[in-house]
Structure 1
Amino acid sequence: MAGPLSSYRLSARPEGGSGRGRRAERGSPSRSNEVISPEILKMRAALFCIFTYLDTRTLLHAAEVCRDWRFVARHPAVWTRVLLENARVCSKFLAMLAQWCTQAHSLTLQNLKPRQRGKKESKEEYARSTRGCLEAGLESLLKAAGGNLLILRISHCPNILTDRSLWLASCYCRALQAVTYRSATDPVGHEVIWALGAGCREIVSLQVAPLHPCQQPTRFSNRCLQMIGRCWPHLRALGVGGAGCGVQGLASLARNCMRLQVLELDHVSEITQEVAAEVCREGLKGLEMLVLTATPITPKALLHFNSICRNLKSIVVQIGIADYFKEPSSPEAQKLFEDMVTKLQALRRRPGFSKILHIKVEGSC
């Protein structure tokens, strides 16, 4: 799905959208007075078995092959997993898809783009006119899926989808179990987290770390972490991050989410032994996986996590020199960073660390 969505628009014509389309539908097997042969029924049954494995783009193209393929390709039973990525879409397109997504249990919108900017349109005008421009169509999708939707993922859709998307989900999809929302322009705030928590109490996996670099780096704050802990004490997997996250919020989170098994921290301030001790004092006893992305951590902090979190099976540390130094190109910074990495790598020789500690250094082979 790597190109613009012009092919989607061609494939997703509304039923009876043109005179020729209406003529094609005349005598359709969906009409009650038409007798469908056993051969056609067998073919459709076979198509149902195959089409349930097709992705969204392929389903849209399959609907253009013939009348029987269209019948199956536009049946809600094959639209259980909806994935739109790397494409230029409009709100009307999403609203059109909604008619087939009444049984969808998974919806993923990733790296979507709005219309192209007009020649005489300034960047400011373009940003204003496209801000939240897909949310009306997304609302139609969420409303259609309703209580069937269990998984919602929205990522890398800057400006065109804001954190209002999660507020919409709280209104229509109260059975959600896994939610991902990652944005560099509109990170989720505590007000929307409260609304999502009020509407969707069954969430066990939540990924809401802002993308880096973030235009509002402090919007996701300690207050957000505290709200998450109050709304979903039964969380099993959580991904948070940003400059606004501190020890107070992390400690509150650990205290409230006692069942947490997977914790991902993205672009959080340095985790020292003191921070690790404060957080582990409040909870994280059942933690099985700790992922630190662009989050500096000291060897002593890692030792503390490993000694307190007895169920830890994996610690992943992904770091780069820019996470530690403002001038990463300077020889002094490079030398200090090499020493830090060496000390972290040395932990793998300690008992209990060799199999669980994975250190990935940005830019290294």
Structure 2
Amino acid sequence: LPRDVNPVMFSNNDEAVINKKLPKELLLRIFSFLDVVTLCRCAQVSRSWNLLALDGSNWQRIDLFDFQRDIEGRVVENISKRCGGFLRKLSLRGCLGVGDSALRTFAQNCRNIELLSLNGCTKITDSTCNSLSKFCPKLKHLDLASCTSITNLSLKALSEGCPLLEQLNISWCDQVTKDGIQALVRCCPGLKGLFLKGCTQLEDEALQHIGAHCPELVTLNLQTCSQITDEGLITICRGCHRLQSLCVSGCANITDAILNALGQNCPRLRCVTHTSADKFITDGTLIQLSIHCPRLQVLSLSHCELITDDGIRQLGSGPCAHDRLEVIELDNCPLITDASLEHLKTCHSLDRIELYDCQQITRAGIKRLRTHLPNIKVHAYFAPVTPPPSVGGSRQRFCRCCILL
């Protein structure tokens, strides 16, 4: 039973006090706030509670991730028959035993589904997306991350049957190419979130299709899409003016031209993640971001080895710095010194700063920053100095000490 329920109110029959005092409609409303586990427990109390707990209206949102992940397909089929058209949101994240057959039955029974997570359901293939396309026209959010059997055929099917799609995650579906992206974006103009992490076959042409057909795009993750270049990303900037979050970590062919384009074309930008070990990002990038992106909240510039104190000064004097900027990651930026921390002390919203391997940053500089921002979380390394060459000619590197200041 729920922990906050008084057991005195119950008996083993349907004449319990609570059933007499409260109308069925009110009990049903109370049950609607319970999670899956509690509903199942309540279903065992009495016959009347069994009917209330298993009423389809209580099963509009189901997440099995924290409940049971080793479920078989028949469980999904039973859920779909129980919930029917009531079900709006279902997460089967990590349910490795669920395959195409069960999801076809699910799609046939739950035609009002709006959010579906199949993240890590590695058994599913293009057949599942064909079923969703045929029976689930209201689908808005679909997570297919790590479903590695998914191909362009899935994206073409979704474009034909799920025109309301707003968010799609196909991270690590490395069979997807520009043809699948083209088919998807041409028929789903309302896309707001695309997560393409690890889709290594994508090239600039795929980004050109996105830029041309996704004016509502807010979030784009292209982490480790190693073939893309500035040319493709600039078309994103020019066509997706509502963009707020962009991740291009691990994209080694990106230079500061793309960040300049973001600054000039995407005024709503809040989060930029660029953590490849390249040497093309410069202070000019920060100048553009500080001028044109007043809503910037998170900025990751890990391994951008040409960034200097002057670039941080420009960022710290921009409109985002005073009221918006919450996180800045500067790890492995060797030219950054304590002067940068002085430039950031007026960033009153700053909650976290990463300074790993910024060897010109000192404890004293961090202490001074904390006098202005006492609640800031500072992550930094203070490593011993590398010793001189040993007698044998080799250099030994001491273990670093990682501290959370």
Name the TM tier (shorter chain).
Answer: 0.5 to 0.7
Alignment of 1:210-249 (within 5 A): 210-211=223-224, 217=226, 219-241=227-249, 242-249=251-258
Per the normalisation by structure 1, the TM-score is 0.64
Provide the identity percentage. Answer: 17
Q: Quick one: distance in 2 between partners of 1:360 and 1:101?
A: 49
CA contact (8 A) 2:159 2:188 kept: yes
1:182 aligns with 2:194: no
Q: Which runs of 5+ in 2 are unaligned?
A: 1-47, 86-105, 335-354, 382-399
Q: Quick one: distance in 2 between partners of 1:294 and 1:201?
A: 31
Listed one character per residue, the Cα deviations across residues 17-65 of structure 1 (whole Å, up to 9, x for unaligned) are xxxxxxxxxxxxxxxxxxxxxx9xx779822431432469879543543
Listed one character per residue, the Cα deviations across residues 151-186 of structure 1 (whole Å, up to 9, x for unaligned) are 11221222x223433222212211111222122522
Alignment of 1:16-165 (within 5 A): 46-54=55-63, 61-65=74-78, 68-69=81-82, 71=84, 73=106, 74-114=109-149, 134-146=151-163, 148-158=164-174, 160-165=175-180
- 2:339 maps to none
- 1:285 maps to 294
**Cα-Cα RMSD:** 3.8
Q: Quick one: distance in 1 between partners of 2:73 and 2:330?
A: 39
Q: Quick one: distance in 2 between partners of 1:343 and 1:175?
A: 45
Listed one character per residue, the Cα deviations across residues 251-298 of structure 1 (whole Å, up to 9, x for unaligned) are 122111122122222316347763345434652233222133555575
Task: State the one-letter code of the partner of 1:150.
Answer: E
- 1:305 maps to 315
- 2:214 maps to 200
1:199 positional shift: 2.0
Task: State the one-letter code of the partner of 1:229.
Answer: C
Question: Which of these residues, 168, 181, 188, is aligned with residue 173 of structure 1?
Answer: 188
CA contact (8 A) 2:263 2:292 kept: yes
Of structures 1 and 2, the one with the larger relative CO (CA 8 A, separation 6+) is 1
SS of alignment partner, residue 113 of structure 1: coil
Q: 1:303 to 1:355 in 2, by over 3 A?
A: farther
Aligned length: 284
1:106 positional shift: 0.3
Q: 1:306 to 1:173 in 2, by over 3 A?
A: same
SS of alignment partner, residue 138 of structure 2: coil
Structure with max Cα Rg: 2
Q: Which runs of 5+ in 1 are unaligned?
A: 1-38, 115-132, 325-336
Q: 1:355 to 1:276 in 2, by over 3 A?
A: farther
Q: Quick one: distance in 1 between partners of 2:185 and 2:216?
A: 11
CA contact (8 A) 1:296 1:319 kept: no
Listed one character per residue, the Cα deviations across residues 302-346 of structure 1 (whole Å, up to 9, x for unaligned) are 4442232433432242747xx98xxxxxxxxxxxx9862561774
- 2:14 maps to none
Question: Which of these residues, 296, 305, 315, is aligned with residue 327 of structure 2?
Answer: 315
Q: Quick one: distance in 1 between partners of 2:133 and 2:279?
A: 44
